[in-house]
Amino acid sequence: MKSSRSRSRSKGNRNRSNNQGGNVVNRVFDSSGPEGKVRGTPQQIIEKYNQLTRDAQLSNDRVAAENFQQHAEHYTRMLSEAQREIDARREEQERQNRERQAERDRERAERQEREAANAAAAAEQQQATETPEQEADSGLVETPESQPKPKRAPRRKPRAKPAPAAEESGEAASSSSDGDDAPKAAE
């Protein structure tokens, strides 16, 4: 009884592994044909059964030839179904890759548009700070801190005046002491 349980369990496991659809093209199968087991990938098994079919036809055994031909057709159908699944998966993956690439292209275009808009806004802002008329239009109030400080003229050292001569009249001395350079009107 113990052996029958283990046998049924392994059959269930074997069926599940075949139904998962793994890589049928490269998987190694054990085929129980009329002349014993044939082991190999589906392509190898197909070739072996085709060879056995030719041998049976040469020996005029039509029943064995038909049997081998049916086994070869079974593995041919398995192989073509597996190939269709692989092609469908590949097409789906290529479609997803195209969608991802299109999304990346859209994001890149949007990013470039945002960068261009930001650059234009920065240029407008730069231009606005350069022209004071636009500041008045913006509704902002000018404060002394926002205005640039005027540059001061460099201080000049006072000139050294030559000492007045003793001969000069008092009027000349008094005019120079007033600091007025303008000539005095006659009195």
Angle at 113 between CA 110 and CA 116, to 5 degrees: 150
Bridge partners of 37?
A: 32
**Tokens coding 62:** 């039509």
User: Can you tell me the mean pLDDT for 27-45?
Assistant: 85
What's the half-sphere exposure (Cβ side, CA atoms, 13 Å) at 77?
A: 5
For residue 46, name the pLDDT band (cuts at 50, 70, 90): very high
What is residue 162's three-state secondary structure? coil
- Distance, in Å, from the CA atom of 73 to the CA atom of 79, rounded to the nearest integer, reads 10
Q: Where are the domains of the chain?
A: 25-100
Rounded (10°) angle between helices 62-130 and 42-58: 150
Q: Output the pLDDT for position 38.
A: 85
Specify burial of residue 62 (Cβ count, 10 A radius: 0-12, 13-18, 19+). exposed
Pick 117 or 164 by higher pLDDT.
Answer: 117
CB 65 within 8 A of CB 57: yes
**Tokens coding 53:** 């079919």
Q: What is the pLDDT of residues 154-184, one digit of tens each?
A: 777 777 776 666 555 555 445 555 545 555 5
Q: Output the pLDDT for position 30.
A: 83
Q: Output the pLDDT for position 28.
A: 85
Residues with Cβ within 8 Å of residue 85, at least 6 apart in sequence:
21
Q: What is the pTM of this model?
A: 0.45
For residue 18, name the pLDDT band (cuts at 50, 70, 90): very low
Q: Output the pLDDT for position 132.
A: 54
Residues with Cβ within 8 Å of residue 74, at least 6 apart in sequence:
none
- Distance, in Å, from the CA atom of 96 to the CA atom of 102, rounded to the nearest integer, reads 10
Q: Output the pLDDT for position 19.
A: 47
**Tokens coding 75:** 């593995």
For the cut 90, the answer to whether the pLDDT of residue 135 exceeds it is no
For residue 187, name the pLDDT band (cuts at 50, 70, 90): very low
